[in-house]
């Protein structure tokens, strides 16, 4: 019998180690999936590299511990590669999560339910779908452990190297657009890096419409030509179908799979297996795809690298963008981080030489960026007393009408869905607050409901004020649903459409709505942030930000960076057609036109905006010039949460050497923007360190000590550490 170290998803804060020991009749290689007993249940685990220095387990009296036996190994699947195990290990260590939790959470949920017989059926089904011969059925009598491991490694190598797709013939090869001089220069730098001993991480700073997607396609083409695989990450699911179509059209003879939460469990498992076995040449996906095992990985692309969606916000709070950089270094694959508005962290790395900066400052076809017009809302005519101001200032409304008359499209951006953020009573000042959260319930007129967008609590709109009985309940503020209604009234005969999370809930509706926009069946498109990035609307010549000020003045120091990126991305939807670029415009309605952000936006000057923001952050000691971790907790009572955080602060200080006490700053516990969600009070405490190694050393000894601290503070429901937090 052999002793195996197995990573399993143990209960959080159970005090168990990263791996558990089991005994098995065969010495299965690290990375092999096994089914093992855990308590009274059976679960999936991953054989892990054993720590040779770890002592043998023994009972309290010194007698050897009787190990539980592995139930079954999923031997029909090649082991997960060492690079995958190294990536998972780094993720767990850096983001302060259990190894088994990370390893199992990034595997397809369907895979965790299968035994070896069930997995073999899925593999045969996959081979049939790909036109491959089914794999030979496993023999009932196993070979020796050494022979079994050798055969598994041999099969994995064959599957990783053998191409299983039909090569593209000259007749099938799609027409490729000619490259601009900037694209040609960028690609020359990228392709040369494929042969480097240690490929670089490239920050591709290209303005909207400069042809970054074509660069991705050509770089992937080069990776495929040398027998490698390409991994392309996008921030959101709604960008995956259109990018998938672009890649499918360019590589008709290649196997392309996607990985995102919009797939069914069976689809996700099939695509994951195709990638792991080396059948898939191209993998497109959202942040979870960074953990997809790829035996021939040769290129990683992170599109819109600045997007906050790459940061997981529950469980293991990892950044897929940062892990992409680490994985590229680990597997010696070039990494391309693309954006028109890079994150300030990536931009700083490019300025210091840590990343290689590649620039594309011109749009394809020599089209110009849209002219930016700032409307000072303080100078606009005021409506009669008791009436709400119009959604669009008169000059902007006239500009939209002009576009309609010319047969062109307009995009109105308002990052707030629903009809109105709140309902209120004009008699007693009642407002539609959520009874379970410190937030308002949003009024949705279409189904006459009040919905909390934090906990999901929904009720029908009351006929009268619940407090005083007044029937005159009025909406306050404006959401996309209300803006759509107002535009239909202000623009009679215009074809107005809305795209947000409410109108795209059903499968296929987003694709249908986008197709209508591309076909010219929409005159005015109203949408949230989901329509401001990545979309190539050729007929849009006017983009308007209806109310951006609400995103500017918050307690988060990243608010200006996020707003500038959003507005630049939104403005980039206008003038994508070179012929219409000269008459394309972006309008911004604001009450603070003197803000430096709008001055930089008017000139499309990201460099100046980034320089000013980095100067401010350097003076304030904020990232990227310092490193942060955020300890969050939830409790039934606010005082309990605050006491826990204060005790955690005292514990952390006691763990620091005396000479480092002044280097690490612990901020006072404070409530977040929404302090109460689903009945639980939330509090958070920020920890700031001057260097990443110093902060990591503290977290490594602090995190394991927190479970015992929690037991001393009854009423704490949950707590978590967020390393490199984006939302503060």
What is the DSSP track for 413-467?
E-S--SSBSEEEETTT--B-B-SSSSSBPEEETTTTEEE-TTT--EEEPPSS-TT
Edge-first strand listing for the sheet containing 201-206: 256-259, 282-285, 229-233, 297-303, 335-339, 201-206, 356-360
SS3 331: helix
Spatial CB neighbours of 473, under 8 Å, sequence gap ≥ 6: 423, 424, 425, 426, 461, 462, 464, 465
Partner residues linked to 543 by β-bridges: 411, 586
Torsion of CA 172, 175, 179, 184, to 10 degrees: 10
Using an 8 Å Cβ cutoff, are 11 and 58 in contact? Answer: no
- Whether 425 has a binding-site annotation, put simply, is yes
Task: Determine the Cα–Cα distance for residues 395 and 377; give it in Å rounded to an integer.
Answer: 11
> Per the structure block, which two tokens stand in for 345?
């962290």
Q: How many residues does the chain have?
A: 728
Report the C-alpha gap between 664 and 668 in whole angstroms: 13
Is 452 annotated to bind a ligand? Reply is yes
Burial (CB < 10 A; 0-12, 13-18, 19+), residue 540, is buried
CB atoms within 10 A of CB 725: 20
Helices (H), 106-194: 116-130, 145-161, 181-193
CA-to-CA separations, 623 to 346, 347, 563, 660, in angstroms, rounded:
11, 12, 17, 20
Contact of 119 with 273, CB cutoff 8 Å: no
Is the separation of the CB atoms in 85 and 99 below 8 Å? no
Torsion, Cα of 120, 126, 132, 134 (10° steps): 20
Token pair for 69:
């036996």
633 is in an annotated binding site: no
Phi, psi of 258 (to 5 degrees): -120, 150
434 is in an annotated binding site: yes
Q: Which two tokens stand for residue 396?
A: 């902007």
Determine whether the annotation assigns residue 201 to a binding site. no
Please choose, from the candidates 469, 398, 437, 412, the residue with its C-alpha nearest in 3D space to the C-alpha of residue 586.
412
468 labelled as ligand-binding?
Answer: yes
Q: Is 465 labelled as part of a ligand binding site?
A: yes
Q: What is the chain's Cα-based Rg?
A: 28
User: Do 393 and 377 form a contact (C-beta atoms < 8 A)?
Assistant: yes
User: Residue 569 belongs to what H/E stretch?
Assistant: helix 559-571
Q: In the structure, how many helices (H) and strands (E) does the chain have?
A: 19, 28
Torsion angle of alpha carbons 380, 383, 388, 389, nearest 10°? -20
Query: Contact at 8 Å (CB) between 462 and 423?
Result: no
Residues making up the binding site: 425, 428, 434, 437, 452, 455, 465, 468
Residues making up the binding site for Zn(2+): 425, 428, 434, 437, 452, 455, 465, 468
């Amino acid at each position: 019998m052999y002793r195996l170290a197995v990573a399993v998803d143990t209960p959080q804060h159970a005090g168990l180690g990263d791996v558990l020991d089991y005994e098995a009749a065969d010495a299965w290689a690290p990375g092999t999936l096994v089914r093992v007993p855990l308590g009274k249940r059976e679960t999936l685990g991953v054989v892990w590299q054993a720590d040779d220095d770890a002592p043998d387990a023994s009972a309290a009296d010194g007698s050897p511990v009787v190990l539980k036996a592995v139930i079954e190994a999923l031997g029909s699947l090649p082991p997960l590669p060492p690079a995958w195990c190294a990536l998972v290990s780094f993720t767990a260590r850096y983001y302060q999560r259990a190894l088994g939790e990370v390893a199992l959470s990034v595997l397809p949920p369907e895979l965790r339910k299968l035994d070896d017989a069930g997995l073999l059926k899925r593999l045969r089904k996959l081979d049939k779908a790909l036109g491959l011969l089914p794999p030979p059925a496993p023999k009932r009598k196993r070979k020796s452990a050494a022979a079994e491991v050798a055969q598994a490694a041999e099969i994995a190598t064959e599957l990783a190297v053998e191409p299983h797709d039909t090569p593209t013939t000259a007749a099938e090869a799609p027409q490729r657009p000619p490259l601009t001089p900037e694209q040609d220069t960028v690609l020359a730098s990228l392709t040369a890096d494929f042969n480097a001993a240690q490929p670089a991480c490239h920050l591709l700073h290209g303005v909207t419409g400069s042809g970054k997607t074509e660069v991705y396609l050509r770089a992937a083409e080069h990776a495929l030509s040398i027998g490698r695989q390409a991994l392309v990450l996008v921030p959101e699911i709604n960008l995956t179908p259109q990018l998938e179509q672009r890649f499918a059209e360019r590589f008709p003879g290649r196997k392309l799979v996607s990985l995102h939460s919009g797939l069914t469990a069976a689809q996700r498992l099939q695509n994951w297996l195709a990638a792991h076995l080396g059948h898939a040449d191209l993998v497109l996906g959202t942040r979870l795809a960074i953990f997809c095992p790829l035996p021939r990985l040769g290129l990683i692309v992170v599109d819109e690298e600045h997007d906050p969606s790459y940061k997981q916000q529950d469980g293991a709070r990892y950044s897929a963008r940062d892990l992409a950089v680490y994985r590229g270094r680990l597997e010696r694959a070039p990494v391309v981080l693309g954006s028109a508005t890079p994150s300030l962290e990536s931009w700083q790395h490019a300025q210091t030489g840590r990343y290689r900066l590649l620039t594309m400052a011109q749009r394809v076809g020599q089209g110009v960026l849209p002219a930016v017009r700032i409307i000072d809302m303080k100078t606009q005519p005021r409506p009669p007393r008791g009436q709400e101001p119009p959604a669009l200032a008169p000059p902007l409304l006239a500009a939209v009408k002009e576009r309609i008359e010319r047969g062109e499209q307009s995009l109105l951006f308002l990052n707030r869905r629903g009809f109105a953020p709140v309902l209120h009573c004009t008699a007693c000042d009642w407002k539609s607050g959520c009874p379970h959260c410190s937030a308002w319930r949003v009024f949705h007129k279409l189904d006459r409901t009040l919905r909390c967008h934090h906990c999901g609590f929904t009720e029908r709109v009351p006929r009268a004020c619940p407090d005083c009985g007044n029937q005159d309940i009025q909406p306050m503020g404006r959401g996309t649903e209300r803006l759509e209604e107002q535009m239909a009234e202000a623009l009679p005969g215009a074809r107005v459409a809305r795209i947000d999370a409410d109108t795209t809930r059903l499968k296929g509706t987003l694709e249908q709505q986008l197709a209508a926009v591309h076909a010219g069946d929409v005159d005015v498109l109203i949408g949230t942030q989901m329509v401001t990035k990545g979309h190539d609307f050729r007929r849009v010549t006017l983009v308007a930000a209806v109310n951006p000020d609400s995103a500017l003045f918050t307690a988060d120091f990243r608010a200006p960076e996020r707003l500038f990126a959003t507005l630049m991305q939104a403005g980039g939807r206008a003038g994508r057609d070179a012929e219409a670029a000269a008459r394309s415009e972006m309008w911004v309605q604001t009450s603070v036109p003197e803000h430096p952000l709008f001055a930089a936006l008017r000139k499309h000057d990201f460099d100046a905006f980034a320089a000013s923001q980095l100067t401010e952050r350097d003076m304030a000691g904020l990232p990227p010039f310092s490193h942060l971790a955020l300890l969050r907790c939830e409790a039934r009572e606010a005082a309990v949460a605050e006491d826990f955080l204060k005790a955690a602060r005292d514990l952390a200080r006691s763990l620091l050497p005396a000479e480092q006490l002044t280097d690490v700053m612990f901020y006072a516990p404070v409530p977040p923007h929404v302090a109460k969600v689903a009945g639980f009070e939330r509090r958070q405490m920020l920890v700031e360190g001057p260097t990443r190694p110093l902060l990591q050393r503290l977290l490594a000894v602090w995190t394991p000590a927190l479970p015992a601290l929690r037991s001393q503070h009854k009423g704490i429901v949950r707590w978590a550490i967020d390393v490199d937090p984006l939302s503060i």
